[in-house]
Structure 1
Amino acid sequence: MARISETLATLRQSWPMPSRPRPITIIGCGGIVRDAHLPAYRKMGLPVAGLFDVNRESADALAADFDVPAVHATIDEAIAACGAEGVFDLALPPAVLLDTVRHLPEGSVALVQKPLGPDGDAARSIVAALDERKVTAATNFQLRFTPSMMAIEDAVRKGLFGEVVDVDIHLAVYMPWELWSFIPHMPAVELPLHSIHYLDWIRGLLGEPDSIYAKAVRHPRYPDQADARSSIILDYGDSVRCALSLNHTYNKGPRHVDATIRIEGTKGAAHLTVGYLIDYVRPVPERLEICFEGQEWAELPLTGERVPDSFAYVQANLQRFAAGEDDRLVTDVHDSIRTMFLVDAGLESSRRGGVVPKA
């Protein structure tokens, strides 16, 4: 047991902060900024210089609660104040991202909220606009930076599991979709807002799948919502089974609530209990267990949580890359396009349906 514990202690769970943090200007002050962005930046010592939101009261309240020195009256004022020396955090709905990035200063640095536009074609236009203005930009796919996920990826990279043969994500949880007023207006919900994180993380872990099979369905509790649950299979040939069963409407808990991610290889495996999904309003800590080379399962003490830690780590990677301290921008918008195309393909698969058996 000592050997496995020593090995687990070497797995990566954090991201270094930039040696010279740039001031951050946040555009968009919704709930995710209050619950994740600002707590993350405060915890990790990343300075926030200013805020802007079309709802001035929201921005003023956040500034007061988190000691942000400036609230800007217009988006143009916020952009001018940040300039090319700061970092833009665009915490905005997908429909307004393209128009916003077209106004960013040439040569600036930006973290762009996911999804990267309403669909893959919009993502392509957004990235083209960023390239035209020579903006260094990352997408806020922070699941790749969650301590537990970084540890699993590091274990895979180090060969602890051997050849990965099975990736399974299973949810039977209650997601309070009613908290987000914009959701009933969306043509699709589960894949572009939630599963997109898993699809992006799996791409980072296994590479590009050959194809995707998916079915997203409604729930009677949300008659005005396009969908709330999904079943997804990623095709990695005949050696890897990759399946996602995602039910966000289970309300018979706490008994039989389930939020697990399992990675299995020829030499070992990882089992993660995703605590922040067990109860969305009152999250519990994650629990990561790992076994390899025939040894008993061992729990890896986690050094942080997805919220808020991963939100600071994705920002740190962006700032370090812009400064030349990191040689890779993990969630580069050019890579994120592939995730957007995968979501589009999943939605198309859901619309087309399966093969009808012969009569």
Structure 2
Amino acid sequence: MSKNVSNNHIDGNILMFNPSGEFFFSKGIAAFERNDLVKAKKYLARAWKFEPTEPIIACQLAIVLTEMGEYDSSNKILLKVLSEIDPYMVECHYFLANNYAYIGNYMEAKKHVKQYLKSAPNGEYTSDAQELLEIISLEADEIKTTCLTENHMEYEDELIEKQEHSRKLMEDGDFDGAVPLLEQMIREYPNFWPAYNNLALAYFYQGKSKESVEILQQVLEENPGNLHALCNLSVLDFYKGKNVKPLLDILKKVYPISVDHRYKLGVTLLILEQYELGYHWLKKILHDGNEVEGIFFYWFAYAAYKMGKMNLAEKAWKKLLLEHPEKDGQEPWKHEEIPMFTK
């Protein structure tokens, strides 16, 4: 950044101070390091107003906006830097890739992360970019294999309806009702992996442990890296008292991007008694401003309770009761048994 020293002069007995872009930039960085994102955004926006052609200020502002979950605004700044200010600021491609990945636009994310790796094969973020590319590829592949084929597009509404119905049956503990519906879905849509994963859980709660494991192993053979299958298999092994360390080591290295995957991983880690990490992923969902279903607060309350954050746990439980009043009196701190894992 250009060294734009602020101008000070004395007018009579009054010291006049004219702040510069560098002054506000320094204030913004200090606020960012304190995790005061609101002030960081305010100061960096002022700094950029003073020095609109300074790419470092613009990029730092974009980073703050990303941390605040304002991905679209962040992307606009980063694209402006590349198109109008400094096309050689290749770090912008890495930041864009992260933003697009967070909002689920994996095509754009992959495009920008590849551009960064091409432009900066030994850059500051090369290692992180390579890891991000692997994650994006896994997420995109799972979505691709989960999607319906063209021949099934006309039945999409019917499939969604069946999926929601089966999910509701499982949440209500009606596994006998869910199993035939899920078995039918698998016959009709053999590449719809969510049905396989839910069927595996339903079989387990019916006492069909062998069939449950066989289904999960089939999913992992045909769709390697399927996070839901990995999570389900680890939980089933945990319930059976088996050693889950090998699977847990894999899950600890996973950095999910989609809200669904973060929720699944967070709940799984809570079941596996990895409370701090489970709490981290559920809290991140809220921190990013995502809309959540009422049942989310069941697990968030459980996580907060296990972390010793009782005020937060009680607030989360109150939010759960707004949509699920039947849960009243079932607070995790009143019942020590492990909650049922149905999603």
TM-score (ref. length: structure 2): 0.26
Higher relative contact order (CA 8 A, sep 6+): 1
Judging by fraction of residues, say which structure has more helix.
Answer: 2
TM-score (ref. length: structure 1): 0.25
Judging by fraction of residues, say which structure has more strand.
Answer: 1
